[in-house]
A and B are shown apart, each in its own frame.
Chain A
Amino acid sequence: MSLWPIFRVFLLLGSIGFGGPMPMLALIHQEVVERRKWISGTQFAEGVALGQTLPGPIAVDAVSYIGYRLSGWPGAVVATFAFILPSFFLMILLSLLYFQWGISPGGEGVLRGIGFAVVGLILAASLRMGKTAVKDLWGFPPILGSFLLLFLFHVPILLVLGMGALWGIVRHISKEKKEI
């Protein structure tokens, strides 16, 4: 597949994909699977699973995967680049406004209001993540543990995540032993 349509479609998707990974993925699905039939629904689901497993933003990972499926390495580069480009330029513009020219809309009050909303949005995100990741009661100790280690004792995050990996492996092995 030639690279130009890949560039165009993902540039568009990158310009209108608002509201976090899930709404973005829905949009990408509409365009790439339903409208253009570039890849199958199963392949798309695989891309999403990949995005959720690997580090990095889920939607961007899925876009890299789709680009790779369409046109190999060049496809992956073009799709990812085009998808990020619009938000990059918009962010540059906002940075210029904020840092160079010191423009922050409405001043102090507006910024404080947004600051509080960000707190709410972050908590909402963690609850949503919990809904997909927690499968039984054993899901809660690592969440609570990592929260306390970080909030109270400021343990390095890498250590916390390493403990998480260990927890997952130990749980897996003990489950397998029970089955035997």
Chain B
Amino acid sequence: MILWRLTLFFLKIGTLTFGGGMAMIPFIHQELVEGLHWLSPREFSEAIALGQITPGPIAISATFIGFKLAGWAGAVAATIAVFLPSFLMTVWASQQLERLRSNRILQAAVQGIALCVIGTVLAAGFDLARAALTGGRALQGLLVATVALLLSLYSPLRVVFIVLGAGVAGYLFF
């Protein structure tokens, strides 16, 4: 049953996404887009864009994906599932703070994972780029992507405006 599989998937993601909401993206891409084909590359990139223009964490993209796959119930289940594991772990860790801080092996493992997460996010970005480029007008597309990259890194502009600006640019270019 899709609702059940959806819930399990987001529970898994919620448990394994070290390094913030962005770390979710490679998982979703590999399993839901490439593996199960539950989501087209287009819908996937929409989900991320919407997650960024709404306030709050980008993990809320799970709501959109859940809604697509199983309607209202899917949206609620995916949202609860994606936040529940880290919520439980955070409260548990708040109680154990002293002990966790002194566990250096754990800290070292987390640092190693954090580095690999960066590689996985990069790979998801490149995969998305490959999918986006197949639609033609590659030059304009690369321009939009580069400008978004630079604005995000070097300007105080909020992500909402970068996404909206890219929408306008897309309307004019494509």
- Which A residues are CB-close (under 8 A) to B168? 110, 113
B110-131 with Cβ < 8 A to chain A: 110-129
B56-85 with Cβ < 8 A to chain A: 56-61, 63-64, 67-68, 72, 75, 79, 83, 85
Cβ of B89 and Cβ of A55 under 8 Å apart?
yes
- Nearest to B128 among chain A residues (CB) is A119
B1-55 with Cβ < 8 A to chain A: 14-22, 25-27, 30, 34, 42, 45-46, 48-52, 54-55
Cβ of B123 and Cβ of A146 under 8 Å apart?
yes
Cβ of A116 and Cβ of B166 under 8 Å apart?
yes
**Interface presence of A20 (CB below 8 A):** yes
Given contacts A19-B159, A88-B63, A115-B132, contact A120 B111 (CB under 8 A): no
- Which A residues are CB-close (under 8 A) to B147? 120
Cβ of B22 and Cβ of A106 under 8 Å apart?
no
Most chain A CB within a 10 A radius of its CB, from B58, B105, B125 = B125
Q: Number of B residues contacting the other chain (C-beta, 8 Å)?
A: 102
- Contact pattern, A 106-132, Cβ under 8 Å of B = 1, otherwise 0: 101111111111111111111111100
Interface residues on A, range: 35 or more
Cβ of A111 and Cβ of B17 under 8 Å apart?
no
- Which A residues are CB-close (under 8 A) to B25? 122
- Contact pattern, B 87-123, Cβ under 8 Å of A = 1, otherwise 0: 1011101100100100011011111111111111111
**Interface presence of A145 (CB below 8 A):** yes
Please report whether the interface of chain A is mostly helix, strand, loop or mixed according to DSSP: helix
Which of B20, B51, B52, B115 has a CB less than 8 Å from the CB of A164? B115
- Which A residues are CB-close (under 8 A) to B112? 142, 164-169, 171
Across the A-B interface, give the 10 residue pairs with the lowest CB-CB distance, nearest first.
Answer: A113-B170, A168-B112, A56-B86, A146-B119, A87-B56, A164-B116, A120-B148, A117-B166, A172-B108, A120-B149
State the B residues within 8 Å of A (CB): 14-22, 25-27, 30, 34, 42, 45-46, 48-52, 54-61, 63-64, 67-68, 72, 75, 79, 83, 85-87, 89-91, 93-94, 97, 100, 104-105, 107-129, 132, 135, 137, 141-142, 144-150, 152-153, 158-160, 162-163, 165-174
Q: Can you sample 8 A-B contacts with CB below 8 Å?
A: A15-B55, A20-B159, A54-B89, A64-B91, A87-B63, A92-B67, A147-B126, A161-B18
